[in-house]
Structure 1
Amino acid sequence: MNLTILGCYAATPRTITNPTSQVLEMKNQMFLIDCGEGTQVQLRKHKIKFSRINHVFISHLHGDHFYGLIGLISTFSLLSRQNDLHVYGPKGIKEVTLLQLKLSGSWTSYNLYFHELDSKESQIVFEDDKVVVSTIPLKHRVYTNGYLFQEKTGDRKLNLNAVMNHNIDTCYYNKIKSGSDMTMEDGTVIPNEELTFDPIAPKSYAFCSDTVYDETIVTLIRDVDVLYHESTFLEADEQYCEMTMHCTAKQAAKIALLANAKHLVLGHYSTRYGSIEPFKEEAKTVFENVELADDGKVFEF
């Protein structure tokens, strides 16, 4: 599970920082999460293949989280894209995107599907045989969702020495990997546990930006492997949180602690601060395994 941070700063882009956008690679699939201004430039800069992005998840309709979407959609057409593109986001994402395409006469060369969301309850928005994605309802100034990405448990791993010692034909391998015991010709039953190893534990990733401090999300992200949580302010500026509906680094750490997360990645920093190191220092007073997101940083979990 790899996470590439394309941008992780709040409000406005600068020459040295970019607004929110990131790429999650999970089970050989690539998901784009939020799409602030400059996203496609960052994709090129970090040599991420455009063609591998088939699903885009937008948290909310504030500009620093989706103003790069129309440019990316247009560029896909210029690159003669053929694969379908699915966009998940709040109700209104389809209208604002299609209006721009209509007025510019820039229709896509590929199928563009919108999955608009308006539920205030968690719901599954994407699922295939390897990954399931659910919403994490957040509390912000406009309708907002985070997203929980969860790997599905894979097949068990063959113990090749064991199956060869029992002279088991290869035609039974898939059945064994799916968890079945093996019945031999003489009626002997070999338990699956003797023929396989446990599958790799499935990983999970929770993206939570933007939101005020909200403990109700804890049950949705319990035991998550990696939690990305917004940390717009430091504790000294906590008075701005209620007005802007954002969090401090310490509040993000409290959520990670309550959720029993394995790792916490901080992001969405206000550009008022000259350094992001104090965010980590503040969060570590509450939660130990803290990482700082930064533009261009790649995490491997």
Structure 2
Amino acid sequence: MKLTILGCYAATPRTFTNPTSQVLEVKNRIFLIDCGEGTQVALRKNKIKFSKIEHIFISHLHGDHLYGLVGLVSTFMLLGRVADLHIHGPRGIKEIILLQLRLSNSFTGYNLYFHENDNKESIVVYEDDKVIVSTIPLVHRIYTMGYLFQEKAGLKRLNPEGVEKYGIEKLYYRNIVLGKDITLDDGRTIPNEELTFEPDKPKSYAFCSDTVFTETIIPYIKEVDSLYHESTFLQSEAELAQKTMHSTAIQAATIAKEANVGQLILGHYSTRYDSITLFKEEAQTVFENVLLADDGLSFEW
């Protein structure tokens, strides 16, 4: 998996920072997560092809996670897009986007599908043969959901020594990695376990945008490889975090520790602070493997 941060700051765009948006690449699929102002410019800066984006996942309807969406939809139209575009988000997102398009007498030359959700439980919102995406119920001032991206288990890996030992021809390799036993010309059946290794462990990513500190999300993100969790404030502003229903760096780290995740990526920083390194320093008092999101950075695992 590869995560590219297009924007990770709270509230408003600034000269050198953007509000929330990121791109996750999973097995040749590209998913856009949230779409704050400046997203399409950031996509160009990071050389991400617009045409490869087929699914957009919006966490909630606050502007710093949404206001870039209608512009991106319109740019797709101007670029002559013909491929379908699927937008996943809270109920109301269809009304917001279609109203803007209608009042500006705009249209899309491609099919635009909205998949709205107001379910308070985790549900699957997208699935194909390689990836499954489900929601993470968050707690914010309006209905908000995070997203859990999980690879599906791949094929078994061929054991070269095993197939060589029995002189198995290449035309059988496909059946072998599919898990089938092989019968030799002399009638012997070779168990698949002798010819393969187990598939690589599927990778996972959890995106937890705006949310107050809540341990209710832990069962949904248990042992994910990488967790992005908002950390709008430092602990000195814990009361403000509670009031605005956001989290502190230490609270994000506490969630990461209790969920036993592989790594924690912090983001959604308030711009009141002079340095984002303070977030990492605080978080590492609770959880060691902390990374700092910043515009233009990429992470792979």
What code does the residue aligned with 1:247 have? S
Matches within 5 A, 1:278-297: 278-297=278-297
User: What corresponds to 1:257 in structure 2?
Assistant: 257
Q: Distance in 1 between matches of 2:181 and 2:231?
A: 49
Matches within 5 A, 1:97-108: 97-108=97-108
Q: Which runs of no fewer than 5 residues in structure 2 stay unpaired? A: none
> 2:221 matched to 1:237?
no
User: What corresponds to 2:159 in structure 1?
Assistant: 159
The one-character-per-residue Cα deviations of 1:131-188 (angstroms, maximum 9, x if unpaired) are 0000000000000000000000000111234324423233322221111222223332
Stretch moving more, 162-171 or 11-20: 162-171
> 2:227 matched to 1:223?
no
Matches within 5 A, 1:130-279: 130-279=130-279
Aligned-residue offset at 1:7: 0.2
Q: Distance in 1 between matches of 2:183 and 2:118?
A: 51
SS at match of 1:174: helix
SS at match of 2:126: strand
What code does the residue aligned with 2:106 have? S
Matches within 5 A, 1:31-50: 31-50=31-50
Q: Distance in 2 between matches of 1:81 and 1:90?
A: 25
Aligned-residue offset at 1:196: 1.3
Q: Distance in 1 between matches of 2:107 and 2:82?
A: 13
User: What corresponds to 1:77 in structure 2?
Assistant: 77
What code does the residue aligned with 1:219 have? P
> 2:86 matched to 1:86?
yes
Q: Distance in 2 between matches of 1:9 and 1:174?
A: 47
User: What corresponds to 1:58 in structure 2?
Assistant: 58
What code does the residue aligned with 2:213 have? Y
| TM-score normalised by structure 2 residue count | 0.98
Q: Distance in 2 between matches of 1:134 and 1:150?
A: 9
Q: Distance in 2 between matches of 1:169 and 1:109?
A: 50
Aligned-residue offset at 1:123: 0.2
Aligned-residue offset at 1:74: 0.4
What code does the residue aligned with 1:181 have? D
Q: Which runs of no fewer than 5 residues in structure 1 stay unpaired? A: none
Q: Distance in 2 between matches of 1:68 and 1:160?
A: 50
What code does the residue aligned with 1:233 have? F
User: What corresponds to 2:114 in structure 1?
Assistant: 114
What code does the residue aligned with 1:40 have? Q
Q: Distance in 2 between matches of 1:59 and 1:186?
A: 59
Q: Distance in 2 between matches of 1:178 and 1:253?
A: 40
What code does the residue aligned with 1:235 have? Q
SS at match of 1:148: strand
SS at match of 1:64: helix
Aligned-residue offset at 1:61: 0.1
Q: Distance in 2 between matches of 1:265 and 1:190?
A: 46
Number of residue-to-residue matches in the alignment: 301
Stretch moving more, 187-196 or 133-142: 187-196
Aligned-residue offset at 1:198: 1.9
SS at match of 2:34: strand
Residue identity (%) = 68
Q: Distance in 2 between matches of 1:242 and 1:221?
A: 22
> 2:297 matched to 1:300?
no
Q: Distance in 2 between matches of 1:214 and 1:286?
A: 16
SS at match of 1:229: strand
Q: Distance in 1 between matches of 2:206 and 2:128?
A: 18
